[in-house]
Structure 1
Amino acid sequence: MEDEVKKRANLALAAIKQAFGTEADEYGATLFVSHHLEEIPRDYWKKHLGADKPEPSAVLGLLELKSNWGEGEIENFDFSLPDDVTQYVISVNFDEGGEIAGISMES
């Protein structure tokens, strides 16, 4: 089961990065990044990314798996920024066939 969790977490992160900036992702990773670049203090970005106003795509590189849950704990994967700087997550949902069914920003 642990291998399946790692596999799906990696698939979820890849899907987040692929969807970022697309019209279909308006309320997922794209919203998450734009919101946090505006709301989080510049010293946080400097500490984690070496720039007080990083490129939006660089923020995705900071994402950490915060939780996985659902049937078998492999249906939903929530990612967020380090140091508990936000209550928001990017949630990736898998369907019964193991395909990604959706990516959204949740609180």
Structure 2
Amino acid sequence: MVVNVDEVVRREKLAIVAIKRAMGTEDGDVNLFVSHHLDELDGEYWLKHLGTESPDATQILDIIRLRSHWGGDEIDGIKNFDFTLPDDVTDYVISVSFDEAGEVDEISMES
């Protein structure tokens, strides 16, 4: 599979912006991802990564990392981008899919 690195970087940045914009809106999947992990992970995890045992949603979204990109045609494999928290503490991801024009099409929480 040939991957355009510049396009991966561009889409990763677009995805992060879209995820942060979705927080607190009617798009419940980003809200669910944040609230689930606030409930499930102990204060030590947040302290290690954020310097506080009680982070807010913005802080949590600031540390999500690209886990993988996949899908699309066999040439690019960059239709879907999955983001998660550091240290493999969860099986859940925020998945961002892109349309044919390379713009964010959908954001969902997946496991």
SS at match of 1:29: helix
Q: Which has the larger radius of gyration?
A: 2
Identity %: 57
1:75 alignment counterpart: 79
Once residues 108 and 96 of structure 2 are traced to their aligned partners in structure 1, the CA distance between those partners, rounded to angstroms, is: 7
1:18 aligned to 17, 21, 24, which one?
A: 21
2:43 alignment counterpart: 42
When normalised by structure 2's length, the TM-score is: 0.92
SS at match of 1:73: coil
SS at match of 1:104: strand
Once residues 79 and 4 of structure 1 are traced to their aligned partners in structure 2, the CA distance between those partners, rounded to angstroms, is: 17
Deviations 1:52-104 (A, max 9, x none): 11112110001000000012121000000000010000000001121211000
Once residues 64 and 7 of structure 1 are traced to their aligned partners in structure 2, the CA distance between those partners, rounded to angstroms, is: 15
SS at match of 1:51: coil
Alignment of 1:61-100 (within 5 A): 61-71=62-72, 72-100=76-104
Q: Which runs of 4+ in 1 moved over 4 A?
A: none
More displaced stretch, 92-101 vs 1-10: 92-101
User: Given residue 105 of structure 2, which amino acid in structure 1 is its aligned partner?
Assistant: A
Once residues 96 and 31 of structure 2 are traced to their aligned partners in structure 1, the CA distance between those partners, rounded to angstroms, is: 14
| Structure 1 residue ranges without an equivalent (≥5) | none
User: Given residue 10 of structure 1, which amino acid in structure 2 is its aligned partner?
Assistant: K
| Structure 2 residue ranges without an equivalent (≥5) | none
Query: How much does 1:37 deviate?
Result: 0.3
User: Given residue 7 of structure 2, which amino acid in structure 1 is its aligned partner?
Assistant: E
When normalised by structure 1's length, the TM-score is: 0.95
SS at match of 2:54: coil
